[in-house]
Amino acid sequence: MQVTELEIAGAWVFEPQVFPDARGLFAAPFQSAAFRAALGFDLTVAQTNHSVSARGVIRGVHFADTPPGQAKYVYCPRGALLDVIVDVRVGSPTFGQHLAVELDASSCRAVYLAEGLGHAFVALTDDTVMSYLCSTPYNPAGEHGISPLDPELGLPWPSDVEPLLSEKDSTAPGLAQAAADGMLPSWEACTGWYATLRG
């Protein structure tokens, strides 16, 4: 398992070895030993999510109140998608910045996002499947979103894909409005929570 820490604190890429043969392929997208060696704690899995999206569907940018927040370990078992991580933690050195990682069924590459980070993706093919390992159960009262089309964020959605959003995502506020409304997690609260996880 190759593990890479990304430029936004709390975001990591995990790339397993893939074993193809005449039957197909085998890979282990999540490996607890590799996760613990990289991050210093075990991933608690309280819920798994599964979404299927047509080409052009954008889901996000979603985040949860932190603490406890909701960390996510995500991979794409079918199709291909562009996964986008947005730093929405007020006070973070990389606040408002984003990273994009392509996930697909042939590489079995995965991304880990710590609590407090914003998450979005766009499906690049029809019937794209996203699998999520989540550290906490879904909590509607603590779940929030910002617009994935916010021009201030300038997220790197492909120009040849017509975006399709849910009503909730299409009416979500921009980053500046969310900050003004006090919706966003703070860097201080998030880093305190990360320290708690590491004991």
Per-residue pLDDT tens listing for the chain (199 residues) = 999 999 999 999 999 999 999 999 999 999 999 999 999 999 999 999 999 999 999 999 999 999 999 999 999 999 999 999 999 999 999 999 999 999 999 999 999 999 999 999 999 999 999 999 999 999 999 999 999 999 999 999 999 989 999 999 999 999 999 999 999 999 999 999 999 988 7
Q: What is the SS3 string spanning the chain?
A: CEEEECCCCCEEEEECCCEEECCEEECCCCCHHHHHHHHCCCCCCCEEEEEEECCCEEEEEEEECCCCCCCEEEEEEECEEEEEEEECCECCCCCCCEEEEEEECCCCCEEEECCCEEEEEEECCCCEEEEEEECCCCCHHHEEECCCCCCCCCCCCCCCCCCECCHHHHCCCCHHHHHHCCCCCEHHHHHHHHHHHCC
Nearest Cα to Cα of residue 80 among 99, 56, 63 = 56
Q: Is residue 42 a contact partner of residue 54, using CB atoms and an 8 Å limit?
A: no
Considering the candidates 50, 73, 75, 132, report the single residue annotated as catalytic.
Answer: 132
pLDDT in tens, 39-87: 999 999 999 999 999 999 999 999 999 999 999 999 999 999 999 999 9
Query: Does the active-site annotation cover 98?
Result: no
Residue type, 169: D
Q: Is 50 exposed, middle or buried (0-12, 13-18, 19+ CB in 10 A)?
A: exposed
Query: What pLDDT was estimated at residue 84?
Result: 98
Considering the candidates 62, 98, 119, 144, report the single residue annotated as catalytic.
Answer: 62
Query: Does the active-site annotation cover 132?
Result: yes
Query: What pLDDT was estimated at residue 197?
Result: 87
Q: Is 152 exposed, middle or buried (0-12, 13-18, 19+ CB in 10 A)?
A: exposed
Query: What pLDDT was estimated at residue 166?
Result: 97
